[in-house]
C-alpha cells in the first residue's frame, strides 16, 4: 500500500506538468474549490475526471489517492491509507479521492474525513454517486458535477484550433471535416489528443463491462450482459423496450434485462430518454430511446451498416444536450416525442411546466421525402405540446421558413454544437 500511494504521488506530479485542455464545466467547480462542502465529480471512465480535478486543485497543495488500485480498494484499515498520505504529503487538508466507488463503504470513511476537517474532492464512474443515494450517503452539503468525453469545441481546443466569430467558406469546410472526424472517433481524451484508435475504445468498453459491472454485481451470465451491452450500442438513437430485448436476446425475464440495462447505464456507457407524455405512467411504460455516451465508442463497438451518419449526428446532439444541462446546472428535462401514428420529434426540451424547444436532427435535408417526414413530426409535436420554438439541426444547411404559419429554423450542426 505504501509503495502504491508513493507511486501515485509521482504520477500526480507528472500530470500537473502536462498541457491541459480547459473543460467547459470548469466554472461549476472553481468557486467551490476552497469551500468545505464535498465536491463529487462523476462520469464514464477515461473522460478526464482526474485531470479535471488536478487542474481545479493545481494552486492548492493536495494529496491524491486512486482506488482503481486493487491494493487500496481492498484495504482493511482505511486510516492506514491516511497514515501514508501524511507520510508523503505532510500536513495537508485537501484530498482528491479518485474512483471512490471501488472502496467498500466509502461513504462512511469520507464522512469521517469530513468531520476531521479534510476538504474532499471525490470522483466516481458510477451514476449512482449522482443520484438521491448520494444525498443519503454524504451527510451535509455536497456539490455534484457530471463530466463527459470532450465536446467538439473542447476537441478543437485540444488541436489548437483558432476560434472566430465568423468563418470563410473554406474555413467552414475545414470545420465540417473536423466534425466528421469527431463523430467518427469521438471525444475520449486519449483518442482526441493522443490519437488512440478503436482498439483502445474496445478495450475500455470491455474493462467497463467486466470490471465495473460483472465484478461489482457478481454477474453469473457475463456473456449475456456483454451481448446486451453491444446490442444497445448498436441500436443507438432508436427505441427499445425491455420485453423486446428479452425476446431478442433470449433472456429468462424482463426483470433481468431491466437490471442489466440499469447497470450499463450507471457506468455512463449509454443513457436513455423517456417518451414525452403529460401522463407519468405513459412515460414509464413507453419504450425508451437509447443513446451512447460517445459516437467513437459506437463506431468501435456496434454492429452497424452503412448509412447511419444521420443517427450518429442525432446521438452527438443528445450528448451535447446532456453536457449543456450539466454545465448550466439547470433542471432541464430532455425527452423524445412520438404520437400514436408514428410521427416523431427527436428532442423535447422542457423547463418547469413548459416545453421550451423542439429539435429535429436531419442529415439529408435536401431529400424532399425526408424533409417532409421530419417537418410533419415537428409540426405535430408543436401542436400537441404547444411549443413554437422549432429547430432542425442539419449537416450544413442554414435558413428559415414558415410552414402552416409556424417558423422553422434550420441550423448547421457545427454552428449549433459550437454555440454560434
Structure confidence by residue, pLDDT tens digits, 20-40 = 999 999 999 998 999 999 999
Q: Tell me, what's the pLDDT at 305?
A: 58
Q: Tell me, what's the pLDDT at 135?
A: 76
Per the model's pLDDT, the better-predicted residue between 336 and 303 turns out to be 336
How is the chain split into domains, by residue range? 2-146, 152-192, 310-420
Q: Tell me, what's the pLDDT at 375?
A: 97
Task: Tell me the pLDDT band of 284, cut-offs 50, 70 and 90.
Answer: confident
Cell of 51: 485531470
Number of other CB atoms surrounding residue 118 within 10 Å: 19
Q: Tell me, what's the pLDDT at 237?
A: 97
Q: Tell me, what's the pLDDT at 49?
A: 97
pLDDT at 75 over 80: yes
Q: Are 394 and 412 in contact (CB under 8 A)?
A: yes
Task: Tell me the pLDDT band of 331, cut-offs 50, 70 and 90.
Answer: confident
pLDDT at 371 over 90: yes
What is the CATH number that goes with domain 2-146?
3.40.50.300
What percentage of the chain reaches a pLDDT higher than 70? 99
pLDDT tens track for 143-165? 999 999 999 999 999 999 999 99
Over range 404-417, report the average pLDDT.
97
Q: Tell me, what's the pLDDT at 304?
A: 66
pLDDT at 132 over 90: no
Over range 84-112, report the average pLDDT.
95
Task: Tell me the pLDDT band of 393, cut-offs 50, 70 and 90.
Answer: very high
Over range 365-384, report the average pLDDT.
95
pLDDT tens track for 240-268? 999 999 999 999 999 999 999 999 999 99
pLDDT tens track for 221-237? 999 999 999 999 999 99
Q: Are 382 and 276 in contact (CB under 8 A)?
A: no
Over range 43-48, report the average pLDDT.
97
Over range 43-59, report the average pLDDT.
96
Return left, alpha or beta for 212; rule: phi > 0 is left, psi -120 to 50 is alpha, else beta: alpha
pTM metric for this prediction: 0.96
Cell of 156: 478543437
DSSP letters spanning 323-341: HHHHHHT---EEEEEE-TT
Task: Tell me the pLDDT band of 128, cut-offs 50, 70 and 90.
Answer: confident
Q: Tell me, what's the pLDDT at 322?
A: 97
pLDDT tens track for 106-116? 999 999 999 99
CA–CA gap between residue 245 and residue 250 (Å, rounded): 8
Q: Tell me, what's the pLDDT at 411?
A: 98
**Residue 274 per-residue DSSP state:** P
pLDDT at 199 over 80: yes
Q: Which long-range contacts (CB under 8 A, 24 or more apart) does 11-16 make?
A: 11/64, 12/54, 12/64, 15/50, 15/51, 15/54, 16/54, 16/58
Amino acid at each position: 500500500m505504501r509503495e502504491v500511494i508513493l507511486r501515485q504521488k509521482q504520477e500526480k506530479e507528472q500530470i500537473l506538468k502536462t498541457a491541459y485542455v480547459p473543460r467547459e464545466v470548469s466554472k461549476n467547480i472553481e468557486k467551490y474549490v476552497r469551500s468545505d462542502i464535498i465536491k463529487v465529480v462523476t462520469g464514464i471512465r477515461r473522460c478526464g475526471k482526474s485531470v479535471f480535478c488536478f487542474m481545479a486543485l493545481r494552486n492548492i497543495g493536495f494529496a491524491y489517492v486512486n482506488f482503481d488500485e486493487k491494493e487500496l480498494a481492498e484495504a482493511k484499515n482505511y486510516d492506514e491509507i491516511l497514515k501514508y498520505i501524511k507520510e508523503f504529503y505532510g500536513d495537508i487538508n485537501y484530498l482528491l479521492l479518485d474512483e471512490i466507488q471501488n472502496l467498500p463503504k466509502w461513504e462512511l470513511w469520507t464522512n469521517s474525513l469530513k468531520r476531521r476537517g479534510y476538504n474532499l474532492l471525490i470522483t466516481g464512474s458510477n451514476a449512482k454517486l449522482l443520484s438521491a443515494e448520494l444525498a443519503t450517503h454524504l451527510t451535509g452539503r455536497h456539490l455534484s458535477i457530471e463530466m463527459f468525453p470532450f465536446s467538439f469545441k473542447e476537441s478543437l481546443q485540444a488541436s489548437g484550433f483558432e476560434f472566430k466569430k465568423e468563418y470563410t467558406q473554406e474555413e467552414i469546410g475545414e470545420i465540417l471535416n473536423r466534425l466528421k472526424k469527431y463523430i467518427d472517433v469521438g471525444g475520449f481524451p486519449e483518442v482526441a489528443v493522443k490519437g488512440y484508435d478503436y482498439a483502445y475504445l474496445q478495450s475500455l468498453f470491455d474493462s467497463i463491462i467486466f470490471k465495473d459491472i460483472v465484478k461489482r454485481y457478481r454477474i453469473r451470465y457475463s456473456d449475456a450482459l456483454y451481448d446486451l451491452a453491444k446490442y444497445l450500442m448498436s441500436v443507438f438513437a432508436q427505441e427499445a423496450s425491455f420485453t423486446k430485448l428479452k425476446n431478442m436476446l433470449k433472456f429468462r425475464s424482463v426483470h433481468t434485462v431491466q437490471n442489466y440495462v440499469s447497470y450499463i447505464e450507471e457506468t455512463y456507457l449509454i443513457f436513455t430518454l423517456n417518451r414525452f407524455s403529460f401522463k407519468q405512467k405513459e412515460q414509464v411504460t413507453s419504450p425508451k430511446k437509447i443513446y451512447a455516451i460517445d459516437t467513437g465508442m459506437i463506431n468501435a463497438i456496434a454492429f452497424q451498416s452503412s448509412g447511419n451518419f444521420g443517427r450518429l449526428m442525432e446521438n452527438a446532439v443528445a450528448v451535447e444536450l446532456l453536457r449543456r444541462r450539466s454545465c448550466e446546472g439547470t433542471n432541464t428535462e430532455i425527452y423524445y416525442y412520438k404520437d400514436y401514428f408514428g410521427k416523431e420529434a427527436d428532442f423535447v426540451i422542457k423547463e418547469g411546466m413548459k416545453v421550451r424547444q423542439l429539435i429535429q436532427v436531419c442529415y439529408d435535408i435536401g431529400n424532399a421525402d425526408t424533409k417532409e417526414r421530419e417537418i410533419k413530426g415537428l409540426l405535430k409535436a408543436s401542436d400537441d405540446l404547444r411549443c413554437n420554438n422549432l429547430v432542425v439541426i442539419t449537416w450544413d444547411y442554414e435558413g428559415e421558413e414558415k410552414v402552416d404559419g409556424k417558423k422553422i429554423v434550420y441550423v448547421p450542426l457545427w454552428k449549433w454544437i459550437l454555440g454560434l
